[in-house]
Amino acid sequence: MINLKNVTFKWHKSDSSPTLNIKELVIEKGEHIFLHGPSGSGKSTLLAILAGINTATSGEVLILNKNLSTLSNTTRDAFRADHIGYIFQNFNLLSYLSPIENITLGCEFSKIRKQKILKQSSNKSAALQNEAIRLLNALGLTAQYHNKNVAELSIGQQQRVAAARAFIGSPELIIADEPTSALDTNNRESFIKLLFEQAKLSNSTLVFVSHDETLKPLFNRSIDLINLQEQV
């Protein structure tokens, strides 16, 4: 699923040392990875590179055997829309839309993800909305909230909308950037288990970033970003 080789990243060419310096990182299809490290270690920077939001200064970034470093900005954006679901730390929801509208909007940027849903439904006209409702229910947001403006929802409820938006259309890779930072310990574990259930149903690989190492035992494998870069 993910194969990084000799990847470096600098915000500015004049920087004396790179923000990231990774000799090798391999993540297999279907893994649930816990990526951790202290603030400033480059966690969010790495996620942005994996998603093709930023491009590596040097090295190969292979996602699904596609080298993102060689793609144009437009092609990279299309690849992300088709194959990657991203749960942002601040959720990046459109506050004037409902949860269902926020979730289905993502499929308008990806014919591949949209077609996956349409193929599985006999009711084509309602297929996207029905899948959004299924995901919201599965992630613990009940029907009374589905058509409210997102701005009226609590942080925990918005978190579930953001996760559902990432999962719709079953992208191969789900990237989650500190999505549980506003929750208490019990709610964090509960939410992560819901993510695992949806990742399994979607056959998606999950890369989850957090500085909270108490969550580490919940995952298949953990990666310490500091140690990973010290191996260079």
Instruction: Kindly state whether residue 91 falls inside one of the protein's structural domains.
Output: yes
Q: How far is Cα 43 from Cα 94, in angstroms, rounded to an integer?
A: 25
Instruction: Report which DSSP code applies to 174.
Output: E
Instruction: Kindly state whether residue 3 falls inside one of the protein's structural domains.
Output: no
Least confident of 23-27, 104-108, 164-168, 197-201: 104-108
Instruction: Kindly state whether residue 17 falls inside one of the protein's structural domains.
Output: no
Pair 80, 113: CB distance under 8 Å: no
Instruction: Kindly state whether residue 16 falls inside one of the protein's structural domains.
Output: no
pLDDT in tens, 140-175: 999 999 999 999 999 889 999 999 999 999 999 999
Stated as kind and residue range, the H or E segment containing 218 is: none
**pLDDT at position 231, please?**
64
What's 40's domain CATH number?
Answer: 3.40.50.300
**pLDDT at position 185, please?**
76
Q: How far is Cα 21 from Cα 2, in angstroms, rounded to an integer?
A: 16
Q: What is the average pLDDT value for the chain, to the nearest integer?
A: 91
Per cent of the chain over pLDDT 90 is: 72
| Inter-CA distances, 178 with 48, 86, 134, 160, Å | 13, 11, 24, 13
Let me know the angle formed at the C-alpha of 119 by 64 and 80, rounded to the nearest 5 degrees: 30
Pair 223, 34: CB distance under 8 Å: yes
Q: At what angle do helices 185-202 and 127-138 cross, to 10 degrees?
A: 140
- Which bin fits 6, alpha (ψ -120 to 50), beta or left (φ > 0)? left
Q: How far is Cα 119 from Cα 112, in angstroms, rounded to an integer?
A: 11
pLDDT in tens, 218-231: 998 999 999 988 66
Q: How far is Cα 218 from Cα 181, in angstroms, rounded to an integer?
A: 16
Domain range enclosing 218:
29-55+73-222
Question: Residue 18: how many CA atoms within 13 Å on its side-chain side?
Answer: 18
Instruction: Kindly state whether residue 62 falls inside one of the protein's structural domains.
Output: no
Instruction: Identify the residue with better confidence: 122 or 223.
Output: 223
| Inter-CA distances, 75 with 84, 87, 107, 174, 179, Å | 13, 21, 17, 19, 27
* Helix residue spans in 176-224 (DSSP H): 185-202
Q: Answer yes or no: pTM beyond 0.75.
A: yes
Instruction: Kindly state whether residue 149 falls inside one of the protein's structural domains.
Output: yes
What average pLDDT score do residues 55-73 get? 95
Number of domains in the chain: 1
Instruction: Kindly state whether residue 4 falls inside one of the protein's structural domains.
Output: no
Instruction: Kindly state whether residue 180 falls inside one of the protein's structural domains.
Output: yes
Among candidate residues 98, 86, 51, 93, the one with its CA nearest the CA of residue 167: 86
pLDDT band, very low/low/confident/very high, at 214 (cuts 50, 70, 90): confident
Measured in degrees and rounded to the nearest 5, phi and psi for residue 93 equal -90, 155
